[in-house]
Amino acid sequence: MTAQDTIRARARELLESGEVASFVGWEAGRFANQTTPLIISDPADADKLVFNEYCVNTLAKYVRDLVPRGKVGLVVRGCDSRGIVRLIVDQVIKREDVYLIGVGCPGVIDRKSGEPLKKCTECRHNNPVICDEMAGDEVAKDAPADRFAEVREVELMAQPERSRYFESIYAKCIRCYACRDVCPCCTCRECFVDARRENWVGKQNNVAENRFYGLTRVMHIGDRCIECGECERVCPMDLPLMKLNRKVIQDLNDLFGEFESSMSLDEGPEPLITYDLADREEFM
């Protein structure tokens, strides 16, 4: 039995028994090398579910809006499961709101290039960090690419060059907010950029305002980012958003020791919201 067969069978059983009100996975897209997320509530639709190397979307974010209608079943790989941990730790959902069918994931493929997606070559957790049952075996994987290599490249730039580099990035941003909408850490009911408050945040599409948006978002999610790479994948302007996310993560590792967000439901408070007298403070 393949993982896809198991996912279909279990989704059908969970919906038929009433254990879950809806189930989230992927369905085949219009083309053979494409899938889209699928949300079903009718057991008869379970056979539409697929699991293959083109399941590029992570699924955790869809859960937030489904939970008020009842328990949600969900397929989780490493990245999806860390997104779920994030939502639970941030008290957006409860553990009992979801039933998780885990799958080991060797990585997914960019349908345009036919190459592995960058987020997957850098992935450090291919298997779910939490689940209720597994559909198939866990996968072993080669050592991932160095996730801080791009950060070091930017750090090596001279300051004026670095400034021009970031200016060129923010000049291209179109403020579509796809990076925010896909992110499992961005769960504020009212995002700071949507707030209507005088002199709060500009809505203009220019370098200064775009930079303000980008940098504020990076600091909002700083020590909670699960490194799923979805923000960078969905950006229609192909902006290298993971460089900024990983700069914060690299600094967190440097300042507070080895740290990865959302690996367990028991993880302690995030480093940026705790204070310790032993904290380094060379800047003071």
Which 8-state DSSP code applies to residue 24?
E
Does position 239 interact with ligand SF4 (CB under 6 A)? The reply is: yes
Cα dist from 219 to 91, 223, 252, 273, whole Å: 19, 8, 12, 12
What track of x and - describes contact with ligand SF4 for positions 167 through 196 (by CB under 6 A)? Answer: ------xxxxxxx--xxxx-----------
Among 63, 66, 79, 151, binds ligand SF4 (CB under 6 A): 79
Rounded to a whole number of angstroms, the minimum distance from the CB of residue 205 to ligand SF4 is 9
Does position 231 interact with ligand SF4 (CB under 6 A)? The reply is: yes
Stretch that binds ligand SF4, among 2-10, 15-23, 71-79, 90-98 (CB under 6 A): 71-79
Among 63, 85, 151, 227, binds ligand SF4 (CB under 6 A): 227
Residue-level length of the chain: 284
Residues near 111 by beta carbon (within 8 Å), at least 6 away in sequence: 31, 33, 34, 54, 56
C-beta pairs of 187-195 under 8 Å, 24+ apart in sequence? 187/64, 187/87, 187/90, 187/92, 192/216, 192/220
Compare residues 71 and 214 and give the one whose CB is closer to ligand SF4: 214
Q: At 76, list the tokens.
A: 């989780």
DSSP H or E stretch at residue 233: helix 230-234
Among 4, 22, 35, 245, binds ligand SF4 (CB under 6 A): 245
Contact set for ligand SF4, span 109-128 (CB under 6 A): 119-120, 123, 126
Are 80 and 62 in contact by the 8 Å Cβ rule? The answer is: no
**β-bridge partners, 76:** 102
| Cβ atoms within 10 Å, residue 267 | 13
Compare residues 23 and 213 and give the one whose CB is closer to ligand SF4: 213
Q: At 60, list the tokens.
A: 């955790």
Rounded to a whole number of angstroms, the minimum distance from the CB of residue 40 to ligand SF4 is 21
Per CB under 6 A, residues contacting ligand SF4 are: 77-79, 105, 107-108, 119-120, 123, 126, 173-179, 182-185, 221, 225-231, 235-237, 239, 241, 245
